[in-house]
């Protein structure tokens, strides 16, 4: 091989290496960013368009994400993660997330962020019933937790696994509080889920939005934002119900992973989801953005009236996190 040819080959190899490195540098790995949940699909496309960073979709739930972060602690794969708040608090205790205060940090209310930035809220949702009215085949839309125990809803109800998925645990906290329990006494929730088994519920581990739209699950314990998305964007005959006995509202949060392989890109992603543009994506997906004033009035008008939302309460999220493992163990032992 001539010296000129060797030089050309060498330049080609270097160029390929630089291109590969550049491509890697423009990628950030997110755990628990599924396209069908909370319209992450639109958010991921917006991140790419605005920052040039590719964030692949990921279908883990909060529990699966935390377990993998812990397993990979010595050699992290993920750069950022999206979690239910209780899992984020546990992730901080496990030392798998890092401190980062993103752009617009000051706009996040106290109580909805870790003071050091180990996690921070990006939006919130209210737990209720997402109901495919057509799939009920003439049965009345349930209005209460008690209604779901009626035999007429046998085979029609679904809820995400409360021992693994955060929304499943939120459902347990909500029904427990509605039936007189506390975060130190989950007896009412355990009794409720045991009684609900007579109606043969479907209990998946991951988001089941498509299964509601298809009618496979007629009534799903889920958030308002998924129900409104189904009704207004997918034009499905879906109703959202805030149970008459009450429910809870909870934040979803993001964190930078400790020793993230692509830390610079991770920070840009976290900055974007709290930017005006990023918060607008959440709002248009019917989530309540964490930054006040980011919810357009026309979107808010599509929500149930404020009088209905008065039954949705905030709770002590740190206490909720501290109680989660004991509840999960008891649910696995007594219900599943």
pLDDT tens for 78-98 read 999 999 999 999 999 999 999
Residue of 186 and 293 predicted with greater confidence: 186
Averaged pLDDT, 302-310: 94
Task: Give the per-residue pLDDT at 266.
Answer: 98
The confidence band for 4, taking pLDDT boundaries of 50, 70 and 90, is low
Task: Give the per-residue pLDDT at 14.
Answer: 44
The confidence band for 9, taking pLDDT boundaries of 50, 70 and 90, is very low
The confidence band for 215, taking pLDDT boundaries of 50, 70 and 90, is very high
pLDDT tens for 42-66 read 999 999 999 999 999 999 999 999 9
Averaged pLDDT, 179-185: 97
Averaged pLDDT, 9-23: 45
Q: What is the CB neighbour count within 10 angstroms for residue 229?
A: 23
The confidence band for 13, taking pLDDT boundaries of 50, 70 and 90, is very low
Can you give the residue ranges of every domain in the chain?
125-249+305-334
Averaged pLDDT, 226-232: 95
Give me the architecture of the 125-249+305-334 domain, per CATH: 3-Layer(aba) Sandwich (3.40)
Task: Give the per-residue pLDDT at 301.
Answer: 93
């Amino acid at each position: 091989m001539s010296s000129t040819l060797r030089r050309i080959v060498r330049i080609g190899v270097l160029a390929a290496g630089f291109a590969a490195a550049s491509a890697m540098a423009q990628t950030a790995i997110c755990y628990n960013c599924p396209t069908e949940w909370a319209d992450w699909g639109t958010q991921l496309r917006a991140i790419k368009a605005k920052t040039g960073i590719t964030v692949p979709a990921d279908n883990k739930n909060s529990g699966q994400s935390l377990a993998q972060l812990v397993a990979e602690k010595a050699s992290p794969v993920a750069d950022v993660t999206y979690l239910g708040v209780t899992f984020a608090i546990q992730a901080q205790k496990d030392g798998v997330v890092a401190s980062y205060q993103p752009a617009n940090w000051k706009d996040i209310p106290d109580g909805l962020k870790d003071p050091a930035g180990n996690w921070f809220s990006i939006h919130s949702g209210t737990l209720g019933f997402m109901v495919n009215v057509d799939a009920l085949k003439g049965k009345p839309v349930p209005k209460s937790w008690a209604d779901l125990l009626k035999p007429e809803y046998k085979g029609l109800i679904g809820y995400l696994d409360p021992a693994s998925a955060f929304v499943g645990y939120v459902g347990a906290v909500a029904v427990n509080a509605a039936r007189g329990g506390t975060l130190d006494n989950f007896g009412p929730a355990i009794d409720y889920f045991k009684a609900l088994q007579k109606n043969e519920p479907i209990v998946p581990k991951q988001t089941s939005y498509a299964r509601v739209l298809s009618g496979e699950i007629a009534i799903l314990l889920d958030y308002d934002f998924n129900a409104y998305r189904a009704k207004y964007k997918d034009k499905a005959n879906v109703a959202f119900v805030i149970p008459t006995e009450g429910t809870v509202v909870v934040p979803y949060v993001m964190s930078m992973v400790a020793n993230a392989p692509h830390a610079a890109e991770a920070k840009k992603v976290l900055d974007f989801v709290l930017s005006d543009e990023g918060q607008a994506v959440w709002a248009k997906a019917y989530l309540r953005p964490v930054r006040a004033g980011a919810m357009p009035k026309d979107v808010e008008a599509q929500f149930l009236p404020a009088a209905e939302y008065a039954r949705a309460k905030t709770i002590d999220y740190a206490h909720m996190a501290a109680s989660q493992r004991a509840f999960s163990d008891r649910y696995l032992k007594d219900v599943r």
